[in-house]
Each structure stands twice: as C-alpha cells, then as structure tokens.
Chains A and B, each alone.
Chain A
Amino acid sequence: MSQPINFHPVESFKERGRSVVNDPAQRKNFRSAMDFLQGKRRAQFPERQELEGLRDLASAIRRYSLAQLPTLLEQLERNLTANGIQVHWAENAEDANAIALDIARRVQARKIIKGKSMVSEEVDFNHRMQEAGIEALESDMGEYIVQLAGEAPSHIIMPAIHKTKQQIAQLFSEKVPGVPYSEDVDTLIQVGRQVLRRKFAEADIGLSGVNFAVAETGSLCLVENEGNGRMCTTVPKVHIAITGIEKVVAKLEHVPPLYSVLTRSATGQAVTTYFNIITRPRQPGEKDGPEEVHLILLDNGRTQAYADAQLRATLQCIRCGACMNHCPVYARIGGHAYGTTYPGPIGAIISPHLRGLDQTYPLAFASTLCGACTEVCPVRIPITELLVRLRNEAQARPDSEDATLRGSGAGRTKLATAVWRGWSLVYSRLGLYRMTSWSMSRGRALSPIDQGAWTRSRTPLVPAPKRLRDLLRKRRK
C-alpha cells in the first residue's frame, strides 16, 4: 500500500508544477478534461437569470447557516441523537481517526469499505486504519483507481482525472488478479464492479462523507452517481459518516437549491443518479440498513477561518470543484502539484486553515487573479479577494496585527522586505524619486539580463531611455 502523498508545498510546489507543465501528455489530459467539464457546466445554465438567481439563493443559504453555526451544530447533534445516530466531535485528524478506530475495535471490524469522502482524505484515514491492521478500501471507481495506484485524488470530484484509460488498463492488469489488459471503459468498470461487489458484502463498516447535514431533521445527505455511497451506507452493519463542521444547513428545504447548483456546477448534470437522505439507523422490523450510524464532526482548522469575518466565506464551499475546472493554473499543473488534499483555488484558500499558512502559502500565489473561479463559484465565495488576503497574511510581520493566522508571515524574505522598504522610501520622497528614476534611465545599460523568474520565459525588463516626465517636458516646449 501507498505512502501519504501530502507534501510540503513550500518546498516543492513550483518544482512539481513545472514537471507537469513540461509534460505534454499530462497537459493534454488536464486541458481536455477541463474543457469537457466547462462545456458540461455551461450547457446546464442556458439562462443567465436562472444561474445568477440560483447562485444568490445558494449563497444566502450557506451564509445563513454559517451565521448560526454553533447553534445549528447543537441542533443537529440533538436531532441526530434523538434519531439514534451517534455524534462525535474531532478537533483534528488524530481525533477523527481515533474515534473511528474506537468504533472499529468495539465492533471487531477488520474491513472498512469507503464511499467517496474528501474529509477522510484530509485526515489520511486509509493509512491510519492500515497501521492499525484494518483494511480501508475505496469503492468510488475513481478513488479505487488512485488507491490501487498508490496515489491520492488529483481532483475533488473526479479523483482519477489525471489518468488515461491506457494507464488504468495497465494498472488493472497488473494489480487485479486474473484481469487481462483492456482499454475498453465498460470492461474496466465491470472489473471494478465485480471486485468491489464482494467487498460491500464482506465489509464490517461502511465509511462515507456528507454533502449536507440537516439540523432541522437530523439527516445526512449524500450525492452520487455510482451507487457505492448507498452500498457503504446500507449494507455493512455499521456506518460511519465523517464531515467538516461547516456542512450543516438549517432546514431541509434548503437542500434542493444547493443540490441543484452542486451537480450542475460540478459535472454539468441536472441531477445525480442517487440522492440519499439518511435519518436513522435500522429500525425494529426493518430488514436492512446499518444497526449503528455515527457522525464524526471535524474541525481541523475550520474554526480559524470562521473567526475571521472575511475568511469565513471560505466555509460556504459545497465542494463542487467548479473553481478548479475553470482555473488556468489548475488546468496546467493538475491537482497533485498542489500537494494538499484540496487542490485548485478552493485548495489555496482552505488549506492554510487546515495545515497552517507556513506550510501552504505558495498556493495563494499560484493564481493569476483572473477571477474565473469567483465567477463560477455557485455559492459566491469571493475567492480572488481571499487569495489576496492570504498573500498579505503570508507577507505580514509575524508580530503585527496584520498577522492573524497560524503561520502568518511565513512567506516574508529579507530580500523582499528590503525591496519593499526601499520602494516605499523612494515613492514617498519626491526628490529621491526624481533622482532614482533619472539614474535608472541613464544607467539602463546596466540592467541585468537574468532577472530571476521574470526572465525564465520573458525578455528582461529595461527602464525606458527617457522618463515620462522628460517626454512631457519636451512636448510642452
């Protein structure tokens, strides 16, 4: 089994990104996948009015939920408990895994079958279970493929988007006993179906994520196409759901607009094959369904985002992935380069809270600030504004009041600080400014040819032979 692939973006983000940019085959995969997803989404919103109206509504629902988050979480807990679903709170990844392990040990579980859950990726669930001698097997086709390959998902909705069918054919023929090489997608999916069907029947525990947790009714909603989410939450004797604390909504009637905008933004589907509302464990007389249902509510840094009036908007996210599908940076470097569980624009704004800005600040700079992500975000998160804010946090003096996050100031370098200090000095004194600009235009021949990152793919910057003020003076004469 694989090693965790989360790594330190500060150390190797640029290097990883560059290696993808230099690989034409991978670039083509990502480009065509992004074009496909963008086209599908566009087709779902033929009318601008419907799209903008739905975005307004979805955003209002999410902001309404977050404004009362602690109250709603308590209401959710109360109603889930009354329904017979056990609620657990986890401050961090370690807590979450310990809670799951406790349950697994109590029911003497050996095998866990998993529906798609990015939060379980966030806490590195599979490896922690493996260390404790428990098998944790992914059953979403894309997740199954990346697990088999010893990798992590490169996209939050389509985990194996970086792989071609030839690579998957190769992988299956090597890793699944008795499977010959075939590039036929139907055949490959049927291989997955056959392998995993057995696993659903044998598993002791099913693990799933949650798309929406409804406080009013004490219900967990899951969105999916394959049916593995239903299998994991219906067939094993125990179901454990894990989710971030931000996923709660106040009322059941808030779910239809969010569900609609989620599927249309994510994969350009009007609706998914399955929408699954779980409200209770198996009741007396019922013949299937898990006997125990648990919900693990994970913080893992989300309360830091919540504490800041501007950054709180990060938690509006419903994880549709539209921001990465439309991001020119993601389209060129793919998800793995980010080195975080959540890649793309949402990854750049959520990861600093989960892992600390010191570990993740380069991601906020991996953006052209073109605003495509903000334009498509179904819940109107001002992603570009948040990216700029995080850039400022990364450069803030750690002891100043501008530094409010874990790891603020980590991006400061002596050189950059000195340059900005010099710039500010020059631009705030007229005489000094005139002298500097005069000497730069006179000394332009001395401009360095190598200007670091700038000249890697551009011609060097050279000051103009005549300053603007000189030209204007000449014209006036």
Chain B
Amino acid sequence: MRARERILGRLRATALPHPPEPPEVASWYAGRQRNETRPQQIERLRSALEAARAEVHDARDAAWPAIVKGLAEAKGVRRLLAGSGSPDAARLAQALPAGIELVCFDRPIDDWRDELFDTIDAGLSRAKGAIAETGSLILWPDAHEPRTVSLVPPIHFVLVDVGTLHPDFHTAMQAGRWAENLPTNALLVSGPSKTADIQQTLAYGAHGPRELIVLLIDEEGAGK
C-alpha cells in the first residue's frame, strides 16, 4: 500500500483549486440534436455502416432466419455459432440446411478454445441497440451470448431491431441508464475489423471478423 499512499499523498499535497463547474455534456448533446425521423435515422445508420464496409440487409422479423441461411450458404459457412438457449438460435436452427451446422455456445471457452478459433466460420448475435450517427451497434454480451461470438469467427451476423435506434452515443447511454447497469463487457461495433498500420493502407480482417453482416429488422416497416 506504500506506493498508493505516496502517490495519493503527492497529489493531495498540491492545493486543489476549486473544482471547476461540471462539464455540461447533456446540454451540448441536446444542442446538436438533428431531430430526425425514424426512416432518416435508419438511413444514417445504414450509410455509416456501409461506409465502414459492413453489409446491411433489411428484414421483417419472420424472414431473417431465411436471409441468414441464404447468406451463410453463399459465403460457404459450414459451422455457425450462436448463443445458447436463445430464441434466435432456435429459430435459426430450423432454417439452416443440413450442410450448415449450428453450434451453440453452451460450455466455457476453456473447454473448446481451439475448436472455436479453428473451426467456426461465423457467429450470430443480437444487438441491444444501435447508434445512427456513427453507425455503431451496441452489443451487450451475457451468459447466453458470450463475448467471443462477435469476435473470433471470421464472419459476424448481427440482428438489429430498428426500434432500438438512438441518434448518438450519449443519448443511447442516457436512455439505457448505462451508468447503473453496465454488464461485464459492453461494446460498440462499427464495422468489420480493420487496420491501416501498413503505409496507411486500409485492410480488413485484422484480428476480429472480416465481414460484419447487419440485419435491420423493421417489423413496422418504419424505414419504408
């Protein structure tokens, strides 16, 4: 504890000026609201995601399993990972053909690390929400849908309900009262994994998924 006491002691020794007024974050965000309609927000989300080279598809709720199936077949997916015990996984299981195996994440990663890294072609997860301004998906992994589903497989399918769309990060955080209920790990994902570390040349599929495939589920047809 000595280092701790010494560091804090040195910091305290300096007379603190009156703490300045708290920064006015909320009013800054309020002042720049675009007040867009839902279809405008959806378009903003879509164009930001596509600019980051994500693939975006529209789907009614009843139709997404068939769309995922079609895309998985077209991309040569053989093993598709989903959370365990989720209704999404159950619906997808019914839609997938015999050639594509649905793997449920039902045991700790420690029991099948190599298999996860070496044999899974794609993962499916459901976003908790999305952010229109930056084209970001909010992932909130839990015991059913672990963190690595959206990280380790080379292709990542994400279901996003357009009803969960927020205009910006701050608004999303305040609306969901994140400060009171953060999970073990919360994430924003805004495209496929990428890097520009070699001569500023953009390359995709650095360490995370090479492809991010977003299914915008619009039950009300609000985007139309």
Is B200 in contact with chain A by the CB < 8 A criterion?
yes
Cβ contact within 8 Å between A164 and B199: yes
Contacts of A100 in B (CB 8 A): none
Is B35 in contact with chain A by the CB < 8 A criterion?
no
Cβ contact within 8 Å between A252 and B179: yes
Which stretch in B56-64, B66-74, B87-95, B169-177 binds the other chain?
Answer: B169-177
Cβ contact within 8 Å between A289 and B170: no
Name the residue on A nearest B145 (C-beta). Answer: A287
Q: Within the complex, which residue of A63, A141, A281, A309 is in contact with B20, where a contact is CB–CB below 8 Å?
A: A63
Indicate the size class of the contact surface on chain A.
35 or more
In angstroms, Cα B110 to Cα A469, docked, is 86
Contacts of B169 in A (CB 8 A): 256, 259-260
Cβ contact within 8 Å between A286 and B142: yes
Is B6 in contact with chain A by the CB < 8 A criterion?
yes
- Which one of B20, B24, B179, B206 has the greatest number of beta carbons of chain A within 10 Å? B206
Q: Which of B173-224 contact A (CB under 8 A)?
A: 173-174, 178-179, 182-201, 203-209
Contacts of A160 in B (CB 8 A): 197-198
Cβ contact within 8 Å between B19 and A141: no
Contacts of A158 in B (CB 8 A): 196-197, 200
Cβ contact within 8 Å between A159 and B208: no
Is B157 in contact with chain A by the CB < 8 A criterion?
no
5 further contact pairs, Cβ within 8 A, besides A287-B106, A288-B108: A165-B199, A200-B117, A253-B173, A273-B193, A278-B185
Q: List 18 A-B contacts (CB under 8 A).
A: A60-B24, A67-B16, A185-B199, A185-B201, A253-B26, A253-B173, A256-B25, A260-B169, A270-B48, A273-B52, A273-B189, A273-B192, A277-B187, A286-B142, A286-B184, A287-B146, A289-B146, A307-B13
A: residues with CB less than 8 A from B are 33, 36-37, 50, 53-54, 57, 60-61, 63-64, 67-70, 73-74, 89-91, 95, 139-142, 145, 158-161, 163-165, 168, 185-186, 188-190, 192-193, 196-198, 200-201, 216-217, 219, 225-228, 230-231, 233-235, 237, 245, 250-257, 259-260, 267, 270-283, 285-289, 297, 299, 303, 306-307, 309
B: residues with CB less than 8 A from A are 1, 3-4, 6-8, 10-14, 16-26, 28-29, 32, 48, 52, 105-110, 113-114, 117, 133-136, 142-143, 146-148, 151-152, 168-170, 173-174, 178-179, 182-201, 203-209
